[in-house]
Amino acid sequence: MTRLSVALGCWYIQWICQSQCDFVSAWSAPSSSVSSVSSTPTITTSMEPSPSRCRIQEALRSLSGKPTITPEIVIPEPTDPTVLLLRSTQVTQLSCNIRTKAKANAACVVGSIDALRTFCTEQETAGRGQIPGPIPIIYNYQSFVCGNIKPTMEHLAKAGVIGFIHPICQSLPITNLEMVLHHGDDLKQQVQEAKKYGIQVIPEVIVPNDLKKNTGDTIQEADWITLVDTLTSILDGCDPVAILLTIQESSSTDTTTAATLSSSSEHESTLTLLPKIPKSLTKRLPVVGSIRVMAGQNRMGSAVAAYKAAGFTGNILRYCINSYLSVYF
């Protein structure tokens, strides 16, 4: 069963690759920019960005303009002691498959420190000096998997994580910039703490799917620039390493559970709400979007196409293989 679980996970990610239609060739081959930055981070003398900042930006924004793909992997804690002993082998194989077979640009992992350490160790040991090289690991805290105790930045850094997703405004859907400013201290404190350990914080902007119904308009290009400028001012003039947009796809304000993925109707309505991202903004930093749709009927392929057409630099496939892992854990 353990081998079957790893094989299913690899097959699922490969299926995502094949569903991209015109984008298969765009990201099925390993990104040279990612592997080169992973082995030898480029540090400029003007702003002297940290190696972790370089790696994440190169992973989430392709210089050729091809969409980048980052699968989110949920690794629940096993309840069976026997399965707990076998988890390390499973996670190690999954990490290898994500890099070598799925050809992902980065990996977003939800799980315990032990699971993170195993995943990151495989990337840095087996992947170092290989083609494709090790991919950056981004952590996303989810209470339904990790419990109510958040790991510290120090523990995450020791495990090998270099990125951290931080939902601004306490995961509430944002309807105005006043909300961003009101919760600015929380973001600034998180960034300052992460910086001590070389971890880059990626602000997640959650937008309600009924924004047009309530305000009569969608997010305009100028609004995006204003939002990033606001975040930059909160961070003392330094742009965030990247921006993650998540469109809330239910009436509930809880966006931190993976109980259900989007239906076809929700998926189609969400794609019509995608804001246009100005090129001037993506030159400053990567702008990626959350995709949380059921596989099949080319839903993921059409979603990636829509995000690319809207100007996004890539996507994070949310909860993309959590269900198969839960069966075995």
Closest CA to 211 of 268, 255, 261, 273: 273
Confidence of residue 19 (pLDDT cuts 50, 70, 90): very low
- Asked if 113 contacts 137 with a C-beta cutoff of 8 angstroms, the reply is no
Name beta bridge partners: 139.
Answer: 109, 164
pLDDT at 77: 79
- List all residues 6 or more positions away from 30 whose beta carbon is below 8 Å from its beta carbon: 103, 131, 132, 133
| Chain centroid to CA 281 | 19
Cis amide prior to 136 (ω within 30 degrees): no
- List all residues 6 or more positions away from 72 whose beta carbon is below 8 Å from its beta carbon: 108, 109, 110, 140, 316, 317, 318, 319, 320
Give the burial class of 195: count Cβ atoms within 10 A of its Cβ; 0-12 exposed, 13-18 middle, 19 or more buried: middle
Please work out, in degrees rounded to the nearest 5, the angle formed at the alpha carbon of residue 22 by the alpha carbons of 16 and 23: 50
Confidence of residue 269 (pLDDT cuts 50, 70, 90): low
As a whole number, mean pLDDT of residues 82-110 equals 89
pLDDT at 144: 56
pTM strictly above 0.85? no
| Cα radius of gyration (the chain) | 19
- Asked if 26 contacts 304 with a C-beta cutoff of 8 angstroms, the reply is no
Higher per-residue pLDDT: 46 or 271:
271
Residue 176, SS3? coil
Residue 185 Cα distances to 73, 169, 243, 308, 317, angstroms: 29, 10, 18, 32, 29
Higher per-residue pLDDT: 329 or 288:
288
Count the alpha carbons within 13 Å of 37 in the hemisphere toward its beta carbon.
27
Least confident segment among 24-38, 103-117, 306-320: 24-38
Distance CA(39)–CA(232), nearest Å, equals: 29
As a whole number, mean pLDDT of residues 169-180 equals 88
CATH class of 2-328: alpha beta
Closest CA to 320 of 163, 102, 42: 102
Distance CA(243)–CA(285), nearest Å, equals: 8
**Whether residue 128 has pLDDT greater than 50:** yes
Closest CA to 315 of 5, 12, 16, 14: 16
Higher per-residue pLDDT: 70 or 128:
70
Average pLDDT, the chain: 77
* pLDDT tens track for 75-84: 887 778 777 7
* pLDDT tens track for 210-248: 655 444 456 678 888 999 999 999 999 999 999 999 988
pLDDT at 272: 64
Confidence of residue 145 (pLDDT cuts 50, 70, 90): low
- Domain segments of the chain: what residues? 2-328
Please work out, in degrees rounded to the nearest 5, the angle formed at the alpha carbon of residue 174 by the alpha carbons of 173 and 180: 130
* pLDDT tens track for 243-253: 999 988 654 44
**Whether residue 150 has pLDDT greater than 90:** no
**Whether residue 175 has pLDDT greater than 90:** no
**φ/ψ of residue 26, rounded to 5:** -70, -35
Distance CA(23)–CA(26), nearest Å, equals: 5
**Whether residue 9 has pLDDT greater than 60:** no
Distance CA(233)–CA(305), nearest Å, equals: 32
As a whole number, mean pLDDT of residues 103-107 equals 94
